A and B are shown apart, each in its own frame.
Chain A
Amino acid sequence: EPEVTQTPSHQVTQMGQEVILRCVPISNHLYFYWYRQILGQKVEFLVSFYNNEISEKSEIFDDQFSVERPDGSNFTLKIRSTKLEDSAMYFCASSPAIPPEAFFGQGTRLTVV
């Protein structure tokens, strides 16, 4: 069964450093998403991406965040200058055009120290 793959599974970084979280969505999907979940809290929407551009973003997705689909298979989330409060699980998801079922990866646990 096809699945969304995320790497790394766990990343530790120092405050102020840049991190890139990587995702390989399901191959025939057209919509791509990033979500995050701070420990013990709900899953929060960050951004959606379609047709090589951002289609929707939340207020969390400020200028320190960016997304890219560099080569037609990978989908990346970059955090330019990490803060302690960026520590969370980051989930990538993808969905086909119809129906809009989003399939989630297993997440990357980001720890900012």
Chain B
Amino acid sequence: LAKTTQPISMDSYEGQEVNITCSHNNIATNDYITWYQQFPSQGPRFIIQGYKTKVTNEVASLFIPADRKSSTLSLPRVSLSDTAVYYCLVGGAGPGRRALTFGSGTRLQVQP
């Protein structure tokens, strides 16, 4: 199962952009990179997923360099409700694909 490393915690203020970087040195060719958000006592919520280059949706952007050994989740203009744990996962598609494995996550605290 692919291992990921991300900062344990980050602090930010409302309205700022937050970038959380994750390293995944042993990512496999079939693996996608997926980010989840989790609030206490709730299931992880899908934020964004990518394979390479840049992906953007209404919530976040995901930057993936050419070697795919790291990725950066960018949250524009965070609010207090973005306070949560953010997980970076790698897992594959196709036959025999590897299940998504959660690391320890990054606990983001947004201050007013």
Contact = CB atoms under 8 A, between A and B. Distances in A.
Contacts of A35: 102
Contacts of A20: none
A91 interface: yes
A107 B91 contact: no
A98 B93 contact: yes
Contacts of B1: 45, 58
A105 B96 contact: no
B12 interface: no
Interface in A68-113: 89, 91, 93, 97-107, 109
Nearest to A105: B43
Residue from the set B38, B97, B99 with the largest chain A CB neighbour count within 10 Å: B99
Interface residues of A, number: 26
A26 B30 CA distance: 23
Contacts of B34: 100-102
B101 interface: yes
Given A35-B102, A56-B99, A43 B38 contact: yes
A99 B93 contact: yes
B99 A45 contact: yes
Interface in B24-41: 32, 34, 36, 38, 41
B100 A55 contact: no
B102 A44 contact: yes
Interface of B: 1, 32, 34, 36, 38, 41-46, 49, 87, 91-93, 96-105
Nearest first, the 9 closest Cβ-Cβ pairs linking A and B are A104-B43, A43-B102, A48-B99, A100-B93, A104-B44, A91-B43, A56-B99, A106-B43, A107-B43
